[in-house]
A and B are shown apart, each in its own frame.
Chain A
């Protein structure tokens, strides 16, 4: 028996060694990614995973802070002309690309010329090409480190749109990122990591960029100090959450950036795993179709708002990690004022009274949801129970995510459990759900007065004025109830025993600078 065991272990030993090697590769930080990235071309065909990886490689003139405000990144100084139509950026001195070449104003102009060319298929081209908030009329080089952007009309969103992670942060690139025909080769950018090996469907590797010139100070969103303490980062594609957890427990990965709230307690109980929680800027809640024959009566929508206990749903769905929030402006935002904290109180008696006043006679109200995103489904189940308690005949219809998204796009629903991804400017939070339903059926809130206020907040750069507009908008939003905002997402991450210094943040994306391996 002992001989058999010895023989077995001898046969198995060459196979077991690699497992150990995988677990203890020095200087390599292994991070789970639930799907492969789509491309490494900034802002072209991207998703959340693509942004998560690429924002370690890319840097634009400006970036986002921890609270979602805009701050200089490659730019040292930004001047805005009195008419708000010219932005002058002065680049920081000594910046170099991943190929060692210095970053110049010419590179900025070349990069933006490429972005604005429709052939590049940059997803934000229309935003800056006149179909969205603004149109860039010219990008002028006025000095070796100075570049002027001229836009057609003043807007408060120019810088924040430039910093958007889904636009690739409008990263500045070296000309050698494309070949002679203008075809994309790979990113030669300025971020703290260089893009390394990409094995599709398996992993993406980033390498520390030794020539990186970090900003001073502590870590702050996508700006601030970015001190890289590891030689390489390997993002491993692990689609199954259970496999991700197993890999973390086995030491096969170091960071699981997106852990389910269901696993929180178990992971917390283990002494070797560190769990981190950070409120994010995603917005979750119930969309209410204001054109629906039944829900067009605001009294019924208000009844729903009073029937649903926001705090209880938040606690149930996020397992006590989330903060209830009825405002479309997320809690971490710098525009989240005292006024934004107001919300409809859970009051079943009032809900019943409103329903009776509206003449509600038990007509079914269907809540659409899906099972791909567990929190959306859980919220629908809890919401259904609360509505039934006040006599609403609430039903749940579970759809596949793409189908639900299609129904959202067409406005084809009564009530829908839904989450909006993070918008990092308060105006964009309102903009994502406000608009004329006749031409944009996906829009939730169609109130001309609100749209007027919103357009003012989008143009004005005056912070106090913007805050006042947002506070008024929130009051109107609570009165109209086009959506019942419940909570902002929580970014729960877990790290293995080798990792120190990992910290989640409002964008809900991993940041691997400032992280050490022991």
Chain B
């Protein structure tokens, strides 16, 4: 097992290198000058040239890449062009915000969606199935920014129950922090419920068609036990893989939700960085996201045998 983990971790290195190279090259191919964006249209040719030199943008691109990579190797992702802050602490600060929303939302969505998907599969083609599938499809189809704005207008503006803008960290004031994250968590949960429900339903339908389920039923095993003992663990395994992908994806930032609810998360940092052509921030964020994606999926793979012992045997 340890060998397997080490092997997977080592595989992260070439992945990260490829991501670093791709991000660096692609960013430089996109038109747009960070110096011009920083100085605006009042800049003169002299001030632009000076700023480019200060930012090291006058160096050949290959040199810029090697310099950046050398610093990355020792854990230095550079400093933001727009605010001169070190990138790594900036990413960690913002990641905490995104992670606190994403993890809670995915857990909540799983708790609701997996039983709902199983129920729909168990009662396939019934009215209940239709309602669950219809609801899941609707949630899946709603754009997150629209749902977020609706929630904001209804619970924030119309009812005035929850704050509309702002953010307080949990370390600062737990009660207030909770008030600020309820709406984003609820929005993300609802969106993810749609995805997970459909996956859980499809996986359960597959399992319920297998012979051992028929066998269990033929033996006279109660239906509840058939579902929870035989169907759930096997149906949950593919859903677990999907959860890994969803989590890895969302931990990279939920830019739209963060923008609507004014959360200082990783997604917003990345989007702002792209708009400002803040190369160190964008490079750092994408590298971080790629590594996070690999690690989350490694964790999911390692936990897979818990749900499907056949994998461990293999």
B156 touches A132 (CB 8 A): no
User: Shortest distance in angstroms between B86's beta carbon and chain A's nearest beta carbon?
Assistant: 12
Interface string of B167-179 (1 = CB under 8 A from A): 1100001011011
Tell whether, in the assembled complex, residue A242 and residue B149 are in contact, meaning their CB atoms are under 8 Å apart.
yes
A238–B165 CB distance below 8 A: yes
> Which of these binds chain A: B29-37, B68-76, B219-227, B301-309?
B29-37
Q: Which of A47, A131, A203, A243 contacts B164 (CB 8 A)?
A: A243
Interface check B45, CB cutoff 8 A: yes
B residues 250-275 touching A (CB-CB < 8 Å): 259-262, 264, 268-269, 272, 275
A16's contact among B173, B179, B272, by CB below 8 Å, is which?
B179
Query: Closest CB-CB distance, B192 to chain A, in whole Å?
Result: 21
Partner of A166, one of B42, B149, B156, B277: B42
Query: Does any Cβ of A come within 8 Å of B241's Cβ?
Result: no
Q: How far is the CB of A423 from chain B (nearest CB, A)?
A: 8
Contacts of B261 in A (CB 8 A): 243
Whether the Cβ atoms of B31 and A16 lie closer than 8 Å is no
Decide if B42 touches A200 in the complex (CB within 8 Å). no
Residues in B with CB closer than 8 Å to A296 are none
B39 located at the interface, meaning its Cβ lies under 8 Å from any Cβ of chain A in the complex: yes
Taking CB atoms, residues of chain A closer than 8 Å to B156 are 19, 246-247, 250, 252
Bound together, the chains give a CA A494 to CA B275 distance in angstroms of 27
A residues in contact with B94, CB < 8 Å = 201
Interfacial chain A residues near B32, Cβ < 8 Å: 400, 402-403, 405-406
Most buried by B among A19, A246, A252, A432: A19
Query: What residues of chain A lie closer than 8 Å to B152, measured between beta carbons?
Result: 243, 246
The B-contacting residues of A in range 34-52, CB under 8 angstroms, are 35-36, 38-39, 45, 47
Nearest-Cβ distance from residue A28 to partner chain B, whole angstroms:
12
Chain A CB within 8 A of B44 CB: yes
Task: Give Cα distance in the complex from A393 to B45, angstroms.
Answer: 34
A22 CA to B47 CA, complexed, in Å: 43
Do residues A246 and B153 form an inter-chain contact, with CB atoms below 8 A?
A: yes
Chain B: number of interface residues, binned into ranges: 35 or more
> A440 near B259 (CB under 8 angstroms)?
no
Across the interface, do A243 and B36 meet the contact criterion of CB distance under 8 Å?
no
Contact mask for chain A residues 223-246; partner B; CB cutoff 8 A; 1 contact, 0 none: 000000000000011111011101
A423 to B30, CA, bound (A): 30
Task: Give bound CA distance, A249 to B153, whole Å.
Answer: 9
Contacts of B165 in A (CB 8 A): 32, 236, 238, 243-244, 246-247, 252-253
Q: Flag whether B166 is at the interface (Cβ < 8 A).
A: yes
- CB distance B36 to A409 under 8 Å? yes
**Min C-beta distance of A302 to chain B, whole Å:** 26
User: Is A403 a contact partner of B30 (Cβ separation < 8 A)?
Assistant: yes
A123 interface residue per 8 A CB criterion = yes
Asked if B179 and A18 sit within 8 Å, CB to CB, the answer is: yes
Q: Any chain B CB within 8 A of the CB of A363?
A: no
Task: Please pick, from B37, B259, B264, the residue contacting A202 in the complex, using a CB distance under 8 A.
Answer: B264
Evaluate contact between B262 and A243: CB separation under 8 angstroms: yes
Give Cα A425–Cα B180 distance, bound, in whole angstroms: 45
Q: Which residues between 371 and 401 of chain A lie within 8 Å of chain B, taking CB atoms?
A: 372, 400-401
- The answer to whether B262 and A19 touch across the interface, beta carbons within 8 angstroms, is no
**Residue in A16, A202, A253 whose beta carbon sits within 8 Å of that of B167 in the complex:** A202
- Known contacts A131-B44, A439-B45, A402 near B268 by CB under 8 Å: no
Q: With the chains together, A406 CA to B262 CA distance in Å?
A: 29
| A126 touching B46 in the complex, CB below 8 Å, given contacts A246-B149, A246-B164, A402-B31 | yes
Which residues does chain B contribute within 8 Å of A247, judged by CB atoms? 156, 164-165
For residues 83 through 98 of chain B, which have their beta carbon under 8 Å from a beta carbon of chain A?
83-85, 93-94
Q: Is A420 interfacial (CB 8 A cutoff)?
A: yes
In the bound complex, CA of A237 to CA of B259 (Å): 10
- A320 → chain B closest CB, angstroms: 27
A126, B44: Cβ atoms under 8 Å? yes
- Min CB gap A518→B, angstroms: 19
Give A252's nearest chain B residue, CB to CB. Answer: B164
- Contact of B40 with A421 in the complex, beta carbons under 8 Å: yes
**Are B275 and A166 in contact, with the CB atoms below 8 A?**
no
Query: A291: shortest Cβ distance to chain B, in Å?
Result: 18
A437 within 8 A of partner (CB): no
A399 to chain B, nearest CB (A): 8
Chain B positions within 8 Å of A12 at CB level: 161
Q: Residue on A with the closest CB to B157? A: A250
Cβ–Cβ contact B42 & A45, under 8 A: no
Q: Would B178 and A15 count as touching, CB distance under 8 A? A: yes
From the candidates B45, B83, B163, B175, name the one contacting A22 in the complex (CB within 8 A).
Answer: B163
Q: Which residues on the B side are within 8 Å of A242 (C-beta)?
A: 149, 260
Q: List 17 A-B contacts (CB under 8 A).
A: A15-B162, A17-B179, A19-B163, A19-B179, A121-B54, A131-B44, A201-B94, A237-B262, A243-B152, A243-B262, A249-B157, A253-B165, A402-B33, A405-B37, A406-B31, A420-B41, A421-B41
Give residues in B with beta carbon < 8 Å to A.
30-33, 36-42, 44-47, 50, 54, 82-85, 93-94, 149, 152-153, 156-157, 160-168, 173, 175-176, 178-180, 182, 259-262, 264, 268-269, 272, 275-277
What are the 9 tightest A-B residue pairs by CB atom distance, in nearest-first order?
A201-B264, A402-B32, A18-B176, A406-B31, A250-B157, A247-B165, A403-B31, A252-B164, A18-B179
